[in-house]
């Protein structure tokens, strides 16, 4: 068995995979509203969620470890794979040892909304099950070979030498979707000019050509790019300076403002949840403007990425909004006929897999599975580790 852990700032997802020739998911679940009151726990597709008394992230981890110990056989778990959003110089799936854990702690300030919680998860499982190898799977891996021009930030070079450049995120999702696209449509389609829109509470887009990331909307942190549920997306530095100065914000307060109080929530002043905003938009102009801004910005990124790719062959929608909100997909695609994007309204309303009209750009709705991608990467990494150990034994024997 392989256990995967996908820790966010307010949620923890897990999945258990049985491994034979390829991973097969046998159990999954998630904790939501972690770190606040009203934490809930769901398992598999059961619509009934269980209340959790823990009000801290550490308490939620303790709850999850205890539940897993009662419901799975840990002696069968050969590895635990973690989604790590930001790793700076680390990109490839890696065994988590003391040195890697130290590096992650040292860069915690670069991604304060994810890394500290991911480290708590690693340490929580290490405390209770030190005998199980843990692996880090980095969201930045998929984008590591982006062209230099897409990585550079227009700031003094000394910052670039310190590792301050555009990294890109949601890489595990993009990696999984590209594998699925090749499986469904063939290598030729997967090698084409592709834009994937990963639209959920966190949202980003990626421009992909010949199976490689050419550009992506998120940059040095996951707060950049398109407006998100509570994150600003790209922000004029002058606005940041004015906000800090006028409200006398500390760095921590400013980060909370742009990552937890902004985006759709900041504009609507009611909710950062797209489902809520769609219900409110007919009677609340602020909700309507939040929805409109989101669709407008995603549309602009699609246009700019089509230019970077030299055209567009396939457009993919994924994530909670991308997979389940037909009206959002329709508004984003409206006016993109000049790129060859035209939807089949009936299929779009049904959330069908293939939603484009007969001719033109192929528009698809695809379910992403970051946990499956983590399991696959850990399997590959374990095989490599086993091979390396065997090679070392052979050398010593010789």
Residues annotated catalytic, as ranges: 139
Q: Report how far residue 19's alpha carbon sits from residue 231's, in angstroms, rounded to the nearest whole number.
A: 37
- Distance of alpha carbon 382 from alpha carbon 143, whole angstroms: 23
- Evaluate whether 22 touches 369 at the Cβ level (below 8 Å): no
Nearest residue to 88 via CA among 73, 64, 61, 106: 106
Report the alpha-carbon distance of residue 337 to residue 359 in Å, rounded: 11
CA 290 to chain centre: 22
DSSP lists the bridge partners of residue 17 as: 2, 25
* Token pair of 232 as six digits: 């600003």
Give the integer Cα–Cα distance in Å for 282 and 224. 29
Give the C-alpha separation, 286 to 270, whole Å: 8
Token code pair at residue 235: 């922000």
Q: What whole-number distance in Å separates Cα of residue 63 and Cα of residue 128?
A: 12
Tokens (6 digits) for 326: 């037909």
* Cα separation, 26 vs 30, whole angstroms: 14
CB within 8 Å of 224: residues ≥ 6 apart? 217, 218, 233, 234
Name residue 40's beta-bridge partners. Answer: 32, 51
Question: Vertex 66, ends 64 and 71: CA angle to 5°?
Answer: 90
* Alpha-carbon dihedral sign for residues 259, 264, 266, 270: negative
Cβ atoms within 10 Å, residue 224: 21
Contact 172, 374 (CB under 8 A): yes
Residues 6+ apart with CB under 8 A from 18: 1, 24, 26
Max CA-CA distance within the chain? 78
């Amino acid at each position: 068995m392989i256990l995967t852990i996908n820790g966010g700032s307010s949620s923890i997802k897990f999945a258990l995979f049985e491994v034979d020739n390829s991973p097969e998911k046998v159990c999954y679940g998630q904790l939501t509203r972690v770190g606040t009151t009203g934490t809930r726990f769901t398992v598999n597709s059961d619509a009934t969620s269980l209340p959790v008394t823990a009000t801290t992230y550490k308490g939620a981890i303790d709850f999850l470890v205890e539940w897993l110990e009662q419901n799975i056989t840990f002696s069968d778990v050969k590895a635990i794979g973690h989604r790590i959003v930001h790793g700076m110089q680390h990109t490839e799936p890696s065994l988590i040892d003391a040195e890697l854990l130290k590096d992650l702690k040292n860069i915690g300030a670069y991604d304060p909304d994810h890394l500290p919680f991911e480290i708590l998860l690693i340490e929580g499982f290490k405390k209770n099950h030190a005998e199980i190898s843990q692996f880090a799977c980095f969201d930045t891996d998929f984008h590591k070979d982006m062209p230099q021009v897409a990585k550079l930030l227009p700031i003094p070079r000394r910052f670039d030498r310190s590792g301050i450049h555009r990294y890109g995120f949601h890489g595990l999702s993009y990696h999984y979707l590209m594998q699925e696209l090749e499986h469904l449509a063939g290598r030729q389609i997967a090698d084409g000019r592709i834009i994937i829109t990963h639209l959920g509470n966190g949202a980003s887009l990626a421009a992909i050509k010949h199976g490689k990331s050419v550009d992506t909307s998120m940059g040095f942190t996951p707060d950049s790019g398109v407006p998100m549920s509570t994150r600003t997306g790209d922000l004029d530095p002058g606005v940041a300076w004015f906000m800090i100065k006028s409200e006398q914000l500390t760095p921590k307060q400013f980060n909370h403002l742009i990552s937890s109080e902004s985006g759709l929530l900041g504009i609507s002043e009611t909710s950062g949840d797209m489902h809520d905003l769609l219900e409110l938009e007919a009677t609340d102009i602020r909700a309507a403007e939040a929805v409109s801004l989101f669709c407008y910005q995603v549309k602009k990124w699609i246009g700019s990425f089509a230019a970077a790719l030299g055209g567009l062959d396939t457009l993919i929608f994924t994530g909670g909004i991308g997979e389940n909100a037909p009206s959002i997909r329709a508004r984003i695609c409206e006016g993109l006929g000049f790129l060859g994007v035209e939807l089949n309204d009936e299929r779009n309303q049904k959330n069908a897999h293939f939603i484009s009209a007969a001719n033109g750009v192929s528009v698809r709705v695809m379910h992403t599975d970051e946990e499956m991608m983590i399991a696959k990467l850990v399997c590959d990494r374990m095989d490599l580790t086993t091979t390396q150990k065997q090679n070392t034994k052979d050398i010593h024997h010789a």
